[in-house]
Structure 1
Amino acid sequence: MTTNRGRKTLLLSLSAAAVAGLALTGGGVAPAAAAGLTWGDCDPKVKPLPGQQCAELSVPLDYAEPDGEQIRLAVSRLPSTRPEARRGTLMVIPGGPGSSGVQRLGQKGAALSEEMNGAYDLVAFDPRGIGGSAKARCGLAEEDRWMVTLRSWPGADGRIDENLARSRRVAEACARNGGAMLRGLTTANQVRDLDRLRQALGERKLSAWAVSYGTYVAAAYAEKFPGRTDRWVLDSSNDPDPKRVARGWLEGMAQGADDRFPDFAAWASHPDRAKDGLRLAPRAEDVRPLVLGLAARLDRAPHPSNKPGVPLTGVMLLQALQQALYSDNSFAPFAQLVTAALDPKGEPVLPPELAGAMPDEAAAITVGVICNDVDWPRASVRGFERAVAADRARHPLTAGMPVNVTPCAYWKGGAVEKPARITDRGPSNVLMIQNLRDPSTPYAKGLRMRAALGQRARLVSVDHGGHGVYLGNGNACGDRAVTRFLTEGVRPAEDVLCK
């Protein structure tokens, strides 16, 4: 077994000379008609783009019994409008676990089509358990399906009694009601499903643009099927350590919030915010204590919101902050939430994700994949209490949530199969792109993926904050690097920095 080689990341200015380093050969042109898929109009609920088509793919519920029960996955594509320029299929692999590929194609397809200029059919699918694909259910009580309860936010005083009881209750409900469908929610099965889709499309190789959790799916695919990858883009990666996987990703959110918050503080203290009533403090260093002080007050005395019977609590404010840090476009709504909560007569408008319980199937996919993928520690109650107390002191913005107990600690049966180990064995055809200040997949964690891939990859680091880089934050340098790689096969000769 080859040991993963660590590699110090070389950050250079992205220039024509740096980008001109490496051209990759194509994967060949596939047949015009996709074997095994019947394309038709998409359901209007998908909100399809003009020309977007939909189909269903049949895959085994359990790959150990390939001829056994089959389930259906929702698939969508935007065909190339320039057949003479077409070089293959570009898979759009969403994040999560729990995000819809079909929806992401609808959201990003127009911009991506323009960048690709006919080089690819753009294809995405809803992973099992998501969107239009076969669903799993746990039969969870409504109070266990709110984002601020499914995520283990400790009590205002740091106590975790409710988290312990809820985690055990959720794990037991999923074991009782989830069945084979829930146990089939794994990254390994998503990798297998992706290869089934490749076959149905009639492609010898695939290219991919994967984001967030999708980068782990894509890396696992490239590890299992290296010869079936063409041009592989990993956007916003996390640490692929097979001993930790999602557990490590969750813990990383504490540092990610600390890395990203100064961007919001600078925005919220800028004099330009005053005209909109959104300047929270005269100095950037005053914004953090203001938000944390407000969260503490809201935990003592929740503020009535626009949702009857659902007051704004401190935990909800901190969860809203985590979501706001994903994109600069979310800064203003969060500042409005803070401003309204500071006003005794104000009416905070809750983000939709916090205003009601998740559907049961959404909750099932949220816990199913992370608990099925890797064994989580069965720590003692005292062990969890110590971890939460230390993390609350070190990272107040996340208040101990990233290290708290989850349903995975009580998951019946543990991991479904051994997690993938990402290595430096395979073709050198991966381009990584990563924001320096990412609240969800911190830059330091992305460097772990970079080290694991070794000479297979090049890294484009972007001096920006937020989660998701390509076609997401307006950085022309980063966008240009990814577009050129996908359309021309040219990667930077070295790891580079976009400012």
Structure 2
Amino acid sequence: MRKALAMIVTAVAALAVTGVAHAESRDAAPGAVSWEQCPDIPGAECGALRVPLDYRNPDGRTIEIAISRIRSTAPEKRRGVLFTNPGGPGVAGRDFPAALVAEGLPRSVRDAYDLIGIDPRGVGRSTPVTCDLTPEQIIRGNIPPYAVTPDDVTAWARQAHRIAGQCAASTSAWMLPHVSTANAARDLDRVRVALGERTASFLGYSYGTYLGAVYTTLFPHTTDRVVLDSSLHEKGWDVDGGRAYGRGFEERFPDFAAWAAARPEYRLGRTPAQVRATYLDLAGRLDRAPVQGVDGASFRLFSFIYSYDDRRFPLMAASWKALAENQPLPVVDAAPAPAPDPENAIAARLHTVCADSRWPTAVGVYRANVAADRIRYPLFGAAAANIQPCAFWRDPVEPPVRIGDRGPATVLIAQNDRDPGTPLSGARSMRRALGDRAVMVHADQGGHGAFVFTPNRCLNTAVESFLVTGERPAHDRWCRAEAR
């Protein structure tokens, strides 16, 4: 089960803006991209680009950014390039265009754009970072363990401090101050220039929404159509962004509870209220006495991750039943494939979120946050609010990019109403920050990932139309639920 959890967790998976946006929009000196067929991505070309490690010193040390391209299927209809990002941070994106095509990306979008995938700086086949994490540290890398008591926060703080120290002492520590969302956005514009494009469009999911918002803030006149899907709030993965998991799971859980209550074969409860009671009871039992190596923190974690997609509900229910009855756990064949290098994925995530903003440094702040969120969001709040290694990180080398409403009105936010990872409240906050630049389309659906990944034709049509024609709804729009 520990191995399965590592697979699940690794899959989920900045200069002040005032007076800077105009300067950031200058074309950088173009580099060269040599393309060849990707050996691991059918139908795609792969290449790489050298970019500055530190954009404050553009002629200094460089790192490599790995890129893929799936060319437009109808060159006569081609509008330009569409940068894509699957989220994370820490998730490789070079193969994401192929994943979108496999998931059913509309032909009209494929006709309109060359699809561009990028492993962000520090990730995957780009120049990578490491924190020399142990398997146990990898499992807990995305989300801290659920803190049953205040002492659990203090105990985990010691582990978080150790992880931060490992990152600072690793062989890639020279990259540590510069693996940030702002620099990843600057890398995107370098790729645009290298591709010979006047503008570039963007489609990003989850953390990719923050990357897209920073990108179009720094480069408002060279970003074209920007889709932010399953949005973080406008400050990204800061301490409040992490705490949003607690709210998100509370809002998503009723979908699973209703599903399980309608399937008596799992024996989890005859009503949604009984299913919720089963979760709380089983979590408490596992806190006191783990079963098959699964403790309460691990149980809460995999339940949260499985809630990302309705298609994982059967595995989630079967796992609960097995733990309740002390039977063999089901084979985890419905989980996402593991990252090629899970250690790199978690290390890159930590580098990015810790460089993007200053986190509270006092353990007492996290103890208070955990105490509050254990009451507000009893299902998962005491995990989401627990202390992160960022509390022990060096200060960022530049302040966060402030997302605002200055720039062209070329942003569309797409969102499910009950998203466990990036709840609707975050999308609404991002929408307010972007002001007249953005319009939001949200749907009465559950799960993480809206466009392409949910069956809602109303939402999917709105996003497709925007990417292909540039037409957005005149006002924010709500779409009724549709069955898969």
TM-score when normalising by structure 1: 0.85
Is 2:208 the counterpart of 1:220?
no
Letter of the structure 1 residue corresponding to residue 138 of structure 2: R
Residue 93, structure 1, aligned to residue 85, structure 2? yes
Q: What is the deviation of 1:460?
A: 0.5
Whether 2:39 is the aligned partner of 1:43: answer yes
Deviation at 1:415, TM superposition (A): 1.5
Matches within 5 A, 1:85-484: 85-110=77-102, 111-112=104-105, 114-147=107-140, 151-158=143-150, 159-177=152-170, 178-241=172-235, 245-270=237-262, 273-274=263-264, 277-278=265-266, 280-304=268-292, 311-349=293-331, 359-379=342-362, 381-412=363-394, 414-484=395-465
Please name the residue that 2:9 is paired with: none
Structure 1 CA distance for aligned equivalents of residues 403 and 89 of structure 2: 19
Q: 1:378 to 1:78 in 2, by over 3 A?
A: same
Structure 1 Cα separation of the partners of residues 396 and 31 of structure 2: 34
Q: Distance in 2 between matches of 1:454 and 1:356?
A: 36
**Structure 1 residue 250, shift from structure 2 partner:** 0.4
Deviations 1:200-222 (A, max 9, x none): 11000011111111111111111
SS of 1:485's equivalent in the other structure is: helix
**TM value normalised by structure 2:** 0.88
Deviations 1:97-119 (CA, angstroms, capped at 9, x unpaired): 11121122221124225241511
Distance 1:358 1:43 in 2: 18
Provide the rounded CA distance (Å) in 1 between the counterparts of 2:84 and 2:329: 39
Deviation, 1:468, is: 0.9
Q: Secondary structure at the match of 1:101?
A: coil
Residue 137 of structure 1 contacts residue 182 of structure 1 at CA under 8 Å; is this kept in 2? no
Give the 3 Å change call, closer, same or farther, for CA 317–115 of structure 1 in structure 2: farther
**Counterparts of 1:328 and 1:142, CA distance in 2:** 28
CA distance in 1, matches of 2:97, 2:153: 39
Determine if contact 2:91/2:339 at 8 Å carries over to the other structure: no
Q: Secondary structure at the match of 2:266?
A: coil
State the distance in 2 between where 1:466 and 1:248 align.
20
User: How far apart are the structure 2 equivalents of 1:199 and 1:356?
Assistant: 29
Note the C-alpha offset of 1:346.
3.3
| Cα distance change, pair 151–292 in 1 and its aligned pair in 2 (3 A) | same
Q: Give the counterpart letter for 2:414 in structure 1.
A: I
In structure 1, give the amino acid aligned to 2:345: A
Question: 1:30 — aligned with what?
Answer: none
Deviation, structure 1 residue 194: 0.2
Partner residue in 2 for 1:14: none
**Counterpart amino acid of residue 125 in structure 1:** I
- The answer to whether the Cα contact below 8 Å between 1:146 and 1:356 also exists between their aligned partners in 2 is no
SS of the residue 2:126 aligns to:
coil
**How far did 1:348 drift?**
4.8
Q: Structure 1 CA distance, aligned partners of 2:354 and 2:456? A: 35
Maintained 8 Å contact 2:199/2:222: yes
Q: Residues of 2 paired with 1:484 and 1:382: CA distance?
A: 49
Cα deviation 1:187-242 (Å, max 9, x = unaligned) = 0110110000000110000111111111111111111111101111111112114x
Aligned-residue sequence identity (percent) comes to 40
Distance 1:334 1:213 in 2: 24
Q: Indicate the SS of the match to 2:73.
A: coil
1:102 match: secondary structure:
coil
Structure 1: gaps spanning 5 or more residues: 4-33, 305-310
